[in-house]
Structure formats: structure tokens, C-alpha cells
Chain A
Amino acid sequence: MKRLIPVLLLAVAACGAQPADSAPATTLTWAIETQPITLNPQLWAQNKVRLLVFNQFDALLSKAEDGSFRPWLATSWKVSDDKLTYTLDLRDDVTFHDGTKFDAAAVKANLDQFLVPGYNPAVAAIQLKAFDRAEVAAPYQVKITLKEADALFLDFLASPYAGQVSPKALKSAKDLRFGGLDLAGTGPFILDRYVQGQEIHYRRNPAYNWPPAGAAHRGPAHLSEITYRFLPEAAVRIGALSSGQVQVIEGVPATDVALIKKDPNLALQTSLNSGTAYSYYFNTEHAPFDDQRVREAFREAVNVDAVLKSVYQGTATRAWSIVGAKSPFYDATLENGYGGDVAKANALLDAAGWKQRDAEGYRVKAGKRLTVREVASAPFVRDRRDILAQAVQAQVKQNAGIDLQVKIVDQGSAQKALDENEYELFGNSRGDSDAGAALNLILPEKAAINRTRFADPKVDSWLAAASATHDQAEREKLYARVQRAAVVDNAIVFPLYVPADQIAAQKSVQGLGFDPASGTPASAYDVRIGT
């Protein structure tokens, strides 16, 4: 059977080849963990499906590992001295998959789309908060004016949100919110099949000749077709890889890392993600986490190192701050500042009035059990976070008598619980390529995902100042203050680990790698089969 598979693949590849397509036909099947909740890049929300976005779409800029920006669909850009006007020169040889020409008017249409009320309120309120207007200065030159300086604006232009969608599709797409076959982009692959719960299939864009600076090759993609199969079960993905049903998988559980490393036919790569660490955010608005002592006690009750070792077999990187260790803004002085002191946890809870215990050993105050609820949305559960939650649950129960209830529900139910303030704990990591963008979403009083319901004008002003300046050193200083306020002074967050991505593949698959901006698997543009 194993011998038959390459033959079959060749046969399938031969069928898929088009006469106009001069590059050789090769196909690849890649098993991924997470199903996209939308295929529209402008509404993108899951870091785990970032690898799909840049198959179909190109952004205006691309971001390098060192944080600098490189040309993509925009060949150059100028920022005025007052930091309010961005002038972008665009490539003049780009066409969307639906035949529409890419030009300044298209860029304007894409930016203006975010102004449609309710389209993407989070992005409109944060990344595009300063956006005033876009103007067509010349057929291939666009002028963007901001209301106030925003150091994160270039980062936005390099993000999936800046994935350019055909203006025709923006008007006529059957389901704009979900995206799909008629939402044409300019990317190296054309989406031609999406089957919910099963797979997503792309074929090569033969006209493609505009990869970002830094790509390993020019011209069309190496692969003529690529299929991503949705296999949420880790064991199934591993089995599919080792039996040869798929050639690449992402999301390799810690228990299987050693087995893959031992297999001479497989190769494993890992990369830490950018953005924020996976953390529990405490809802500070109501009891019991309105009391800082209870928040600190919760952190002290968990032996994070032991938990990570048991859940991830020592492959996870412990987080100490809300900002991930890969980010240049990470404040390493927060390390070893808290956690794992069970005696302190119990003393804090006693002091906070949770003195009695009930029959099951949980702490009680005024007849009410010390219960906290974590509501998680299933599409965002990755890296065995459900098991991690169970480990934390056992630790806080055994060490401090806290009753942690974990509910993993569908996206709608989770959103409802969050909207109705029916939660005490919220687990989240953000994959933003600039950690500042994530902090802007999480910490300010009116931020879109301020699940701590914490408000401190000082923190808000530091974040605003950091967003306004282009001076990296100044931003670093301000973000350090913000991190200290969140982690130490107010203890509104419990950082757990720095998310990482893994790719395991058969050795014959070359060119796999990670997006330097995010640390998540890169698009399939440079991937090829053979030597």
C-alpha cells in the first residue's frame, strides 16, 4: 500500500495539471488541527489558521523576524514627518483570482470596508482606531491619512487583516462574513473547495509572480494543488502522518515529539509564537476575583512547572508575563516573581475571609463555595488546553480548596457567557505579530476583549503613548510598565505558557517553515516535494 500511494499521487497530480501551467504538477496533503471559523482574511481570528490566509491572499507589507517591514503588494511606503500620512506605491502587475486588476482603488475599497458598521468592530476599534481616510493619489499609489500617530499601523498593513480582497467580491460575495470560493484574493493559491469538517483545497495560481520580499523563490508556487484536512484529534493526525495518508501535520502533541524525532522518515520543526502568552485572565468585576488576594492565591496555588511538565512533557516554555517571550517587548524582570507558594495561597484566602471548608474540601464564605468558572470556546481550544485546565483544576482544589469549573462549549455559548458576565476566568493567547496590538485589545478599559473588566487610566495612557510613538526603546519602556501593572501590581492575569507551533513532515517535503512575523506555520508558497 505504501508503494501505491506515490503512484496514486502522481496519477492525481497528472489529472490536475493544466496545459497552461508550465511548472510540474505536485500535490500535497496537510492535516491541520483547527477549522477556520471564517475564510475572510479581514475577519480572521484564529492564529491556528493563519497558515491558510496567505495561501489565498497577499497583504500590502510583510514583516521580518527582526520587526522590520518589507515590500509585498506595496513596493515602497513613505511616512510623513507628522506620522499622519502614509503614501504607498503599489505593484502594477497584480490581478485578483477573479480577473479584477489590483490597484489603488482596490486598496481603498479594502480599507473602507472596515468602516462598514459591524463588519469587524474589534479591528475598527483597535488597529484602525486612528484611520481617517484612504485616497487614490495615482492609479498605483494610495495615500492613507490617520487621525493620530499610530506606531502599529504598518503592522496592520502586514497582518492578515490587510489581505487584499477583490473589490468586486467585497460587493457581491454570497457570504462575505464567511468568505469562500467567490472571495477572490491575489495569493499564490486559489481556493477551489471547502467542505466543512473535512478539508479545504487550493490549486496553484499560475499567474502568481509577486511573493513578499524574503520568500525563497519567485514565480508560481511549487505545488500544483494542496489539500488541508481538518483532523482535530492529535492521535489521528500522527497516525495519518506515519501511515503516509498525509505528508505534513501541524500541532504535534508533546507525547509524540519523541516518537517523531526517532522516526528516520519524519522531520519536526517548532517555533514559539509571537504575541501574548497563554494566560488566564481574572474577571475582576465580581466575586471572588474582585479581591486581589484571591487572584494572587489562585496563582500561588498552582505549581505551573509541574503542571506544564505533566501536560506537555517538558516541551512547553513557561510564561511569566502577559507578553510572550518571543516578543522584543517581553519584560524578563517579571520572571520568578510569583507562583507555587501553597502556604501563601492559603494564608491569602484565609485573610480574604474564605476560611471554612465544606464536606468536599472546598473553601466556603457566608455559605457560598469558592467556585470559579472558565468558559472556553471549542474552536479556540488547542495545545491540549482542556487537559491543562484539568491539571490547574486539580491543583487549586488540592492546594487551596478552590472549585474551578471548566466548560468547553461552542463559540455561540461561549460568547453569550462572556457577554453576560457569567465567567470568572478567561483563557486566551493572541498571535498578533506586534505584542502591543494584543495589549491594546486586552487591557484598556473599553478594549474589545477586556475580559478582566479591569480599568486603570494609567495603563490606558501608557498604552496610548506606546501606540503613538515610533521610538522602539520608548515603546519597550512603556510596555514594561504595562506588564508590571497587569502581572504584579494588580495581578489580573495568570500567564501559563508561550504558545508554540510544530510542523512534522515526511522528509521528502521541503520548504516548510514558519511565518517570521507570527511564528505560526507559513503558507504553502515555498513548499515543494523532492530534493
Chain B
Amino acid sequence: MPKLAHVLARSGPKLSHVPVVFLAVLALAVAVPVLLTAADPLAADPLNALAPPNADHWFGTDHLGRDVLARVVHGARHSLSIGLAASLLAVACGTLLGLAAGLSPKWLDEALARSFDVLSTLPELLLALLVVAITGPGTVNVIFAIAIAQIPNYARVIRAQTFVVRHSGYVEQALTFGRSRLAIIAGHVLPNVLGPIPVLATIGLGQAVIASAGLSFLGMGPQPPAAEWGAMLSEARNYLRVAWWEALFPGLAITLTVVCLTVVGRRPQRRFEGRKP
């Protein structure tokens, strides 16, 4: 997948706009899904089940006769909002913890940093699975699970940045001028450590979307009949041999979303790293 992202990012200005356009359409699907499809994602028509793509149902119908296009469009809301909420939560908690570690006395910093390290040794999805196994399935639980799994990523970067900023001239200057610690943290440290966050968050969002689809595939996320891409894939797998369209479209939606998020996220990353976009 990184290869594909690479090709997309490098192949001229026209092609590189595709991800942005796709993400815009996606945003539309999340905000006002009815603009993209008139069909009800939950309306079953059992007599018209497993119909191949046709004029009425562009993406065909699933095993209960529900419109696959409508389910993919409406599913964007579930899949993306889980990813987005999890990412925001992870950014917020990761920033706070990273900042706390970077500014704490050495023993506390060591303790926090080592616990980030321990959490980082577990693959994100595995850690999220562990959390869901404890809390039980459901949309909110999945959000927390993914967020917890992503926190160490952000916390480690923020902690490192905090070290740099903490020993910078302007912070030492502020200290000499006798400003309070809280004012220095809010006014000088925080704004200057947040630089890499947008880049990390864009890529992290893609990972969060994959994780949420993965957990939903395993039945941990939104429960049936909710349209969620991972859950749709899971339901469709038993019909792969007779109805390819039921699995193809949600699968494509997940893949394209993550690829596009990665491609779009690369640009600010390059800029941040001082390379040409």
C-alpha cells in the first residue's frame, strides 16, 4: 500500500488531486448521505436479494436485498466517525501525557516513557482487541479501544518535542523573567510541541479507520443491522462465491479511504520535514 500511495503522490498534479476529491466526496457522505443516494441503507427487500449491480441498484443488493450503494454511503458515517473520534481522543490524551512526561521529574518521566514503550510493543490492533475484550462490543467501546492503542504514538513524539522546547532559549528566558510554570507551558511549550501532530494525526486517522473496520469485521463494532464497512465485509464473506459485489464495494471504500488519507497526509509531512512537497 505505501507503494501505491507513492505512485499516486508522484504522478503529476492531476492525479494527485484525486485523493482530495475522494475525501471531499467522503466528507459529503458523512455530512449529508442522502445527497449521494436516495435508498434507505436498512430497507430490506428479501425477494430481491443478491441482485447484481443494475440500473436500480448501482452496487447491487446484499443477502437481505438491501442496497449496497446506500450501505456504503451511509457506512462512511460509522466508519469515519469512529476513526475520527478515536484519533481526536488519542491526540488529546497523547499530547497531555507526552507533555506531562517531558516536564516531570526524571523518575516520573522514566515511568511514563517506559509504559509508552511497553504499550508500543503491542500491535495497535491487538491492543485494541484486548481493550474491547474487556469492555465488550459497541461503537463507543471501539472508539476507546482504538484511542488507547494510538495514545503511545502521540505521547512519545510530544515527549521528545517537549525536551527540545524545554531547553530552548525562549523558555529559559521566560523562566528568568519569573513567569509562572503554567503560563510558560500554555504560552510557550504547548504551541511549539504541536507541530508534528497534524501530520501524525492524518496518517493515524487512516490507521484508525482500518482498525475500526477490522474490529467491526470481528463483530466488535456497531451491531447489525447498522451499515459499517468492516461489518459489511464480514457479512459478505459468506456470499463471496455468489455475490462478489457485496464484499467488493465496502472493501474498496476502506482501501481508498486509507490510501487517500495517507497520500494527503504525506504532503504536510514532507513540508514539515523540510522536503519539497
| A binding-site residues for B, Cβ under 8 Å | 233-235, 238, 253, 255-256, 259, 303, 306-307, 309-311, 384, 386-387, 390-391, 393-395, 397-398, 406-407
Contacts and interface: CB of A to CB of B under 8 A. Distances in A.
Contacts, number: 64
A398 B225 CA distance: 13
A256 B242 CA distance: 8
A235 B63 contact: no
A438 to B, nearest CB: 29
A235 B247 CA distance: 14
Given A390-B225, A393-B225, A398-B44, A310 B241 contact: no
B238 A395 contact: no
Given A306-B47, A395-B46, 17 more contacts: A234-B238, A238-B241, A255-B239, A255-B241, A255-B242, A306-B46, A309-B46, A309-B47, A310-B46, A310-B65, A311-B63, A387-B235, A394-B42, A394-B44, A394-B66, A398-B43, A406-B224
Interface string B229-241: 0000001011111
30 contacts: A234-B238, A235-B237, A235-B238, A235-B240, A235-B241, A238-B241, A253-B238, A255-B239, A255-B241, A255-B242, A256-B241, A259-B241, A303-B46, A307-B46, A309-B46, A310-B46, A310-B63, A311-B46, A311-B63, A386-B224, A387-B63, A390-B225, A393-B225, A394-B43, A394-B44, A394-B46, A394-B66, A397-B42, A398-B44, A406-B224
B15 interface: no
Contacts of A256: 241-242
Given A309-B46, A310-B65, A394 B225 contact: yes
A310 B47 contact: yes
Given A255-B238, A256-B241, A391 B43 contact: no
A390 B46 contact: no
B241 A391 contact: no
Interface of B: 42-44, 46-47, 49-50, 63-66, 223-225, 235, 237-242
Contacts of B66: 394
A390 B49 contact: no
Nearest to B66: A394
B17 to A, nearest CB: 39
Taking each of B42, B49, B238, B242, which has the highest tally of chain A beta carbons within 10 Å of its own beta carbon? B238
Taking each of B46, B50, B65, which has the highest tally of chain A beta carbons within 10 Å of its own beta carbon? B46
A16 to B, nearest CB: 34
> 7 tightest CB-CB pairs across the interface, nearest first?
A394-B44, A310-B46, A310-B49, A306-B46, A255-B242, A306-B47, A391-B64
A234 B242 CA distance: 13
Contacts of A259: 241-242
A306 B65 CA distance: 11
Contacts of A238: 241
A235 B239 CA distance: 8
Contacts of A309: 46-47, 49
B45 to A, nearest CB: 8
Nearest to A398: B43
Contacts of A255: 238-239, 241-242
Contacts of B237: 233, 235
A406 B64 CA distance: 16
Contact of B64 (A233, A253, A394): A394
A489 to B, nearest CB: 29
A238 B239 CA distance: 12
B46 A391 contact: yes
Nearest to A386: B224
Contacts of B241: 235, 238, 255-256, 259
Contact of A310 (B42, B43, B64, B238): B64
A390 B64 contact: yes
A135 B235 CA distance: 55
Contacts of A387: 63-64, 235
Given A256-B241, A259-B241, A310-B49, A395 B63 contact: no
A416 to B, nearest CB: 14
Contact of B44 (A386, A395, A406, A407): A395
A390 B232 CA distance: 13
Contacts of B44: 310, 390-391, 394-395, 398
